[in-house]
Structure 1
Amino acid sequence: MIKAFVAENDRLRLVGDLAAEKDRVVWIDLLGPTKDEEDAVERLIGIGIPTREEMEEIEISSRLYVEDGAFVMTATLPAHADGDRPEMLPVTFVLAGHRLVTIRYHEPRAFQTFPMRAEKADLGCTSGDTILVSLLEAIVDRLADVLERGSREVIDISQDIFHSKEKKVSDRDRDFQEILHRIGSKEDLVSKIQDSLLTLQRLSGFLANFVGRDPGDKEIRARVKTLSRDVTSLSDHASFQTQKITFLLDATLGMINIQQNAIIKIVSVAAVVFLPPTLVASVYGMNFDVMPELKWFFGYPLALALMVVSAVLPFWFFRRKGWL
């Protein structure tokens, strides 16, 4: 699918026929393009656009390069990032003259919200480079929103770990299982956002070397520098979130170990407490003909009292030592 936009009064307007408006088009957005659509755009901009396989290459030379005066830049962006399992696919930006061409195979939120804002508000979208910078700013804002949501959820997880409302051991076990699942989901989300920010950091550095080279384009250069600083700041924040998630994972495993050790301690103490009574009962349960205590009138209550005392004394000793 092809979406073509023209600039009118510093705003973008979607046009239905690319061929009829080809001289005025400043942004061409390709979503899952067919071969015919790729050929039509290549004839218009005069260079070949990368295929999906080429977009998925990870080496920098395949993602950031100059071809016949056009700048080709590829970044990995998330889609459906409102959940914990965003779809991560590459998006290519081709800055050819006064036109911007974007090639993508999924629906990042910024590609839905930015055209609507640029159509209603004056964002200064007059050419390909201004559109590219504004679009990248919208993408970074979206990633910041995703990270903020993840940060709030990480705080909620921390509260659930250290301030659990459940008192029963079985309920806490179920809570910890759920918490481990939530921690894994947040780690996956943050790591994907980090990967996206890394590609945007490289892209912004590459773009800063070429965009706004004319003396009158100081504003564009300043916006690109601000964009690069924002990406770096978000990357640092994502690294902090990764460390926080790792700490919460270690803390959860530690709480599980403490809980298991408490259960084992109770079982061990119970075994030690009931060991002396078991020994007494075993002695008087032996079948020998000569056992003087068998003829005693108070033999039975004495054996019971001995078992009770032998159980109470270890329990009292453990409590005094603070082991219980």
Structure 2
Amino acid sequence: MIRAFVMDNDRLRQIPDLFDTQQTVVWADLVNPTGEEEAAIEKWIGIDVPTRDEMEEIEISSRLYSENGAWFMTAILPAQTEGENHVMGPVTFVLAKGKLITVRYHEPRAFQTFPQRAESADLNCQNGHSLLVALLEAIVDRLADLLERASRDVLDISHRIFHPTERKASKRDLGFQIILRQIGRKELFISNVQDSLVSLQRVSTFLGNIPTPSKDDKELKMRVKTLSRDVQSLASHADSLSQKVIFLLDATLGMINIEQNAIIKIVSVAAVVFLPPTLVASIYGMNFDLMPELKWEYGYPIAIGVMVLAAVLPFWWFKRRGWL
């Protein structure tokens, strides 16, 4: 699918067919393009549209290059972030002949919200270069929102770890298991956002070296520098969140160990408390004829009293020592 946009009274407007008004189109957005659509774009703008395999090239240096007067930049962006199973995928931005071409195979949220905002407000998108800067600003704003949401989630997880509401140990253990899975998903999400920010940092640096229209040169350069600083700030924030998640992981494992140690301590104390009474009962449970206590009138209550005393004394000693 190809989404085409033109500028209409300083507003971005989507048109139904790219090839009806090719000369006025400033942005062509290729979403899961077919071979025919790629060939049409290549014929229209005179560039080689990168394939999905080329966009997913492992070599980072292959994501930023210039070819035949066109500049190609590929960034990794998240999508479907509202659910638990978010998607990471490459998006290629191409500047050629004053126009912007984007190629993608997933749906980052900024590609839905940015055209709506640019249609209702003047974002100073007079050409492909300024349009790309505005689009990247929207993407960075979206990543900032995602990190803010992740920060709130991390704070909620922290509260649940250190202030559990469940009184039963079994329910607390189940809660910690759920928290561990949430921490794992949150760490994966933050790590992917960090990868996205790294790719955007490279894109903004590369974009800053691309010649701009002379009348917009100073303003665009300043916007690109601001964009680069914003990306660096978000990267630092993401690093801080990642450290917090690692701390929460260690804290959760520590709380689980404390719970397990408490259970083991209770079992150990119970074993020690009931060991002396068991010894007394074992002695008087032996079948020997010559046992003088068997003839005692008060032998039974004395034996019971000794067993109770043998259980109470260790318990009292443990309490006094602060082991319970």
Fold shared per TM-score above 0.5: yes
User: Does the 8 Å contact 1:55/1:92 carry over to 2?
Assistant: yes
Whole-angstrom distance in 1 between the partners of 2:184 and 2:102: 33
User: Does the 8 Å contact 1:5/1:25 carry over to 2?
Assistant: yes
Is 1:287 paired with 2:287?
yes
Unaligned runs of 5+ in 2: none
Paired residue for 1:247? 247
Whole-angstrom distance in 1 between the partners of 2:172 and 2:20: 66
Matches within 5 A, 1:75-114: 75-114=75-114
Distance 1:216-1:148 versus aligned 2 partners, 3 A rule: closer
Look up the SS of the partner of 2:66 in the other structure.
strand
**Deviation for aligned residue 1:85:** 2.4
Paired residue for 1:42? 42
State how many pairs are aligned.
Answer: 324
Look up the SS of the partner of 2:138 in the other structure.
helix
Whole-angstrom distance in 2 between the partners of 1:24 and 1:269: 83
Q: Deviations over 1:262-299 (max 9, x none)?
A: 01001000100110000000000001111011011011
Paired residue for 2:117? 117
**Deviation for aligned residue 1:61:** 2.5
**Deviation for aligned residue 1:144:** 0.6
Moved more, 209-218 or 183-192: 209-218
**Deviation for aligned residue 1:12:** 1.2
Whole-angstrom distance in 1 between the partners of 2:308 and 2:211: 88
Q: Percent identity?
A: 66
Paired residue for 2:205? 205
Paired amino acid for 1:148:
E
User: Does the 8 Å contact 1:11/1:126 carry over to 2?
Assistant: no
State TM-score, norm by structure 1.
0.98
Unaligned runs of 5+ in 1: none
State TM-score, norm by structure 2.
0.98
Q: Deviations over 1:128-183 (max 9, x none)?
A: 00100000000011111111011001000000000111111111112111111211
Paired amino acid for 1:224:
V
**Deviation for aligned residue 1:82:** 1.6
User: Does the 8 Å contact 1:129/1:211 carry over to 2?
Assistant: no
**Deviation for aligned residue 1:211:** 4.4
**Deviation for aligned residue 1:83:** 2.2
Is 1:195 paired with 2:195?
yes
Paired residue for 2:220? 220
Whole-angstrom distance in 2 between the partners of 1:167 and 1:2: 57
Paired residue for 2:237? 237
Computed over aligned residues only, the root mean square deviation of the Cα atoms, in angstroms, reads 1.1
